[in-house]
Amino acid sequence: MTAFLHTLRDLLADLSAGHANDRLPERWARLLDALVGGYPADASTLMVAHDDGLQPVAVLGLDDEVRGRRFSLTAHPRLATIAAHPGVCRFPLDSSLPDPFDGLLDDSLSHVHDCMGVALRDGDRLLGMLTLDALTPGCLAVIDDNELLAAAGLLATCLRLAQQLSDTRSRLNQALDQHFPDQNAPRNSAPYWQSPAMRRLEKSLTLVAPTDMSVLLHGETGVGKERIARRVHALSARCEGPLVRVNCAALPESLIESELFGHRRGAFSGAVRDHRGHFAMAHEGTLMLDEIGELPLAMQPKLLRVLQEGEIQPLGSETPQRVNVRLIAVTNRDLSQEVAAGRFREDLYHRLSVFPLEVPPLRERREDVPLLAGSLLEDNRIRLGLANLRLDLTAEHALLAWPWPGNIRELEHTLGRAALRALGDQSPVGQGARRDAVVRIAAHHLELPTTPADDTLAPEPSVPETHPAPSAPLREAVETFQRRHIALALETHNGNWAATARALHTDSGNLHRLAKRLGLKA
């Protein structure tokens, strides 16, 4: 209990100081470990409720990518059963209901044989869920229901306090909104970013989002600029208003002015009725101009005038119309170079780039690959109608080694193709996927080069040579080496078990179990 109270104190202190993005994952994991880490479970999760399902914020005995998944209650009947249960929900050992973590606890794709869980509530409102799973039938029977309910009550209090801080703070920049999102927030966003590059972006994003400043989002193709733009809108005071997206590259040059500013009936041939235009549609909300670098040079002065004066004049109208719009411009071009080349007006560039945000390429944020992969794996699991879909260690290493020139879009398509190939290898020809099938993606399913395309991956930790006494039993000598090797790797990765497992080329769940046996974990 002392460890729990210290961790809770640290969590609340971090939230109050605005450090949630950097330390929140570690704090939630420590809370979970302090309360249920001593139970004979092979895997445990603390999940937070969203409008579209549950998302783990802390896991024990599972790969880090699980935190990137969303588990909808309609797709996971066990979770729905726990959510509807008033107390501790235990499933019969012969339950036919699929478990959301079947095939994820070990390398053998084993199904869960013992499962229990508790819904975390604030009155009648579902805050989240605590789950425990084991591969050995009956091993969870020793857990006292009242003790688990007490632990669940403490976790529910933590979630409630965190949400209250999220709802009432003025300067914490919506750090917890990734766990307790507004209903307008984009789906399938990662629970929090692991990479320093995205944490810096998130800090800038949550600083500018509550203002009405124009934002220029720039970055390579496929990095997720539209998702970031939607997040700016969701965290702004305009989140209840419309978000209107316009692809400037898709607009015919002859119709751009009409599409943006509207027209009156009879303004030109074919104008048989009034048209509002995208600026009018985005009134009191946000207008996202995608591919702004494709806007014709002749059209740029008219856009500049609208931004300066805050009013539009539809074609065929003699009366200007006031509009209150927050503008987000998106581009994969370097607009400063476009200005130098004479293809983009300098005054418009400065008007758009009041607050520029660069979305980093995936090769500069490799730490986020497991979470992004987890979200995409869950999407493909649902699409293919599988019990579960996971990566083996060779696939994980291949994903981390590849530089992803096509960024998130390339990762999405690569995993989609790989899931289909893996299913084809596992299912008999001419037969569909079984609902209880657990499909494992290996490196060869990804069809990526097997050697790293660059050397930016963190090196594996080196271990000083040790020489156990020759008289020591072999098992003792092996365990001594394992203990030192794991401890050094854990220290190298700042206590991050998931990163340690990846560096040691081992399954995260297996590493947790081995660490407990070696006395490295309580």
DSSP string computed for 206-233: HHHTTS---EEEE--TTS-HHHHHHHHH
CA gap 281, 504 in Å, rounded? 54
- In this structure, what DSSP letter does residue 180 have? S
The dihedral through the CA atoms of 171, 175, 178, 180 has a sign that is negative
In 10 A of CB 237, how many CB atoms?
11
d(CA 376, CA 415): 7
- For position 169, what pLDDT does the model report? 45
Distance CA 316, CA 296 (A): 21
Q: Please state, in angstroms and rounded to a whole number, the distance separating the CA atoms of residues 160 and 8.
A: 12
Residue with tokens 């607050």, as numbered in its chain: 355
CA 68/CA 230 separation, integer angstroms:
19
C-alpha closest to that of 488 among 460, 469, 514 = 460
- What amino acid is encoded at 72 in this protein? S
Which residues of the chain are modeled with pLDDT < 50?
Answer: 18-20, 168-191, 451-465
Structural contact between residues 363 and 400, judged by C-beta atoms closer than 8 angstroms: no
**Residue 439: what pLDDT?**
92
Q: What is the dihedral of CA 16, 19, 24, 25, to 10 degrees?
A: -170
pLDDT for 221 equals 93
How far is the C-alpha of 438 from the C-alpha of 111, rounded, in Å? 9
CB-side neighbour CA atoms (13 Å) of 370: 19
Q: What is the pLDDT of residue 267?
A: 83
pTM of the model: 0.75
Could you give the count of Cα atoms lying within 13 Å of 281 in the half-sphere of its Cβ? 16
